[in-house]
A and B are shown apart, each in its own frame.
Chain A
């Protein structure tokens, strides 16, 4: 988890409320990713970023948006949380397109009631 922090680490929220998760890195890596991890599904990519203000969708992007205004910060927003978004969310970073090794943060457990 060195160099990557996520906040908050735990959150309980109600259906319909907006939620923002933050990922912060001190490694100056170009690529940042948001995954969700659910039983039976492993890690699934939500969105990723390949530079400041450059983002793209992953396989489960519906209901999520992201922003990256600085190299070190990548925000994941649930505009209107639903119970199906209850999950553990991981942020990851990597150096670039020729370096697929990803370094993961400690995760955020989000519960939507």
Chain B
């Protein structure tokens, strides 16, 4: 598989604790946001999405919060497991004026057993 030795912000958490990964997005016109997870040697995988008319959305063990006032997005992972160790990207999408998706640089989550 493929991986990139990214020099990224790192979050280290104990197994079983909750994790919060933050993302500041750049464009106030962005109206749809996605969190992706990238495990070592693999391509990014979709985790959860949220539209700009929502503040919060929950999935299985994950919650995404959106604060449009300060252009901030967060991903909360409950009861973090070793399998959650990965790089997490936020992506912002602008639906007007054609296709445009911007990916954040990512945060590396390390889960200590």
Most chain B CB within 10 A, of A31, A90, A97, A105, is at: A90
Most chain B CB within 10 A, of A9, A43, A48, A106, is at: A43
Partner of A106, one of B2, B99, B105: B2
Partner of B6, one of A1, A40, A102, A106: A40
A101 in the interface (beta carbon within 8 A): yes
* B4→A88 contact, CB < 8 A: yes
How many residues in B have their beta carbons less than 8 Å from beta carbons of A?
Answer: 26
A25 in the interface (beta carbon within 8 A): no
A90 to chain B: which residues have CB within 8 Å? 2, 43-44
* A100→B34 contact, CB < 8 A: yes
A50 to B98, CA, bound (A): 11
A107 to chain B: which residues have CB within 8 Å? 1-2, 42-43
Instruction: Answer whether A100 and B93 are a contact pair too, CB < 8 Å, given A1-B42, A40-B105.
Output: yes
Partner of A43, one of B3, B95, B103: B103
B25 in the interface (beta carbon within 8 A): no
B83 in the interface (beta carbon within 8 A): no
A109 in the interface (beta carbon within 8 A): yes
A4 to B32, CA, bound (A): 24
Contact sample, A vs B, 13 pairs, CB 8 Å cutoff: A1-B43, A37-B4, A39-B7, A40-B105, A43-B89, A88-B3, A90-B2, A100-B34, A100-B101, A104-B44, A106-B2, A107-B42, A108-B2
Residues of chain A at the chain B interface (Cβ within 8 Å): 1, 4, 9, 31, 37-45, 48, 50, 56, 88, 90, 92, 97, 100-109
